[in-house]
Structure 1
Amino acid sequence: MTSASPQSPAGPARRTVVAAVGAAGLAAALTACGSGDDSSDTVDTGSGNGTGSAAGGATQDGGGAGGAALARTADIPEGGGKIFKDQGVVVTQPTAGTYKAFSSKCTHQGCAVGSVAKGVIVCPCHNSEFSVTDGSVKKGPATQALAAAKITVSGDEIRLA
């Protein structure tokens, strides 16, 4: 009497398929993250040009500490901000000379925020709005503030700390 095997040898095991799909996804993510050049995809929204020294969420740094320069202070509009997709941050200037940085990942479902204008950072997925001053939720469905990121301002350069 013959018995049927509980597993069919007709194709690859489910674990093999899942591992292959995971490896392919990881390879795609690493390729996207490791472009190797200093250019960044940015979204510049808001109005006005502000200059000044660091205040609030940024630290004044006399040396070249931190990573590569993200932007010049004049690139960040007062009352608005600029999104740095490659670095996963949004840098804002809530008031003249005050620079802040937050994660660009919405706390609702992880979408990348899409714009900064009129004092709010907006997520395009479900229209959550966050304050450019402290990252707090101004309008849901998000219920948690954007995570603060550390930046340094040295002269007119803004860098990730």
Structure 2
Amino acid sequence: MFEILKQYQIISTGLLGFIGVIATIAANGYWARKQRISEIENRAKSIRSALKAELEINKSTFEARVESLESSTSPNSRVPIRTYLDVYHSALSDIGILGSKEVKSIVNAYLLIEELPTYMEFHANDRDGKALVIPQKNRRAVADLHSGRLAAIDKAITTLSDQDA
């Protein structure tokens, strides 16, 4: 037996070394995949949190505008045309790492938010810097434009919250 091991010592050492290299490569691949999955999950969580925060800002802004338009007694109301889309635009290239249900509700909400200033301009008499001058007769329509988008924003926030839990 000792003679056989002595005779095939180089081959057995080479085979053992080869098996060790293959095992190391396989283990490194496994850990690299786990690390990549963890990075993607962390990026998705960051995107969810940022989009949720931005949607909540848009929601509270829209609610405040509706309240202001409904309670105003002046002949004209000045309504800011600013909507908050910066996070959405910066995360758009990575949005595919989220689930399809999330993407659908997020894109729907943001498309409605993004088009709002254009629709508001149809009801404005004038532009005053970064605000539109809305006459009293069009206030209800502009308030409805804002409140009509709240359901889609709420749905997107809920979808993002469900995935965050």
TM bin, normalised by shorter chain, reads 0.3 to 0.5
TM-score, normalised relative to structure 2? 0.32
| Higher helix residue share | 2
Higher strand share: 1
Which structure has more RCO (C-alpha within 8 Å, separation ≥ 6)? 2
> Rg larger in 1 or in 2?
2
TM-score (norm 1): 0.33
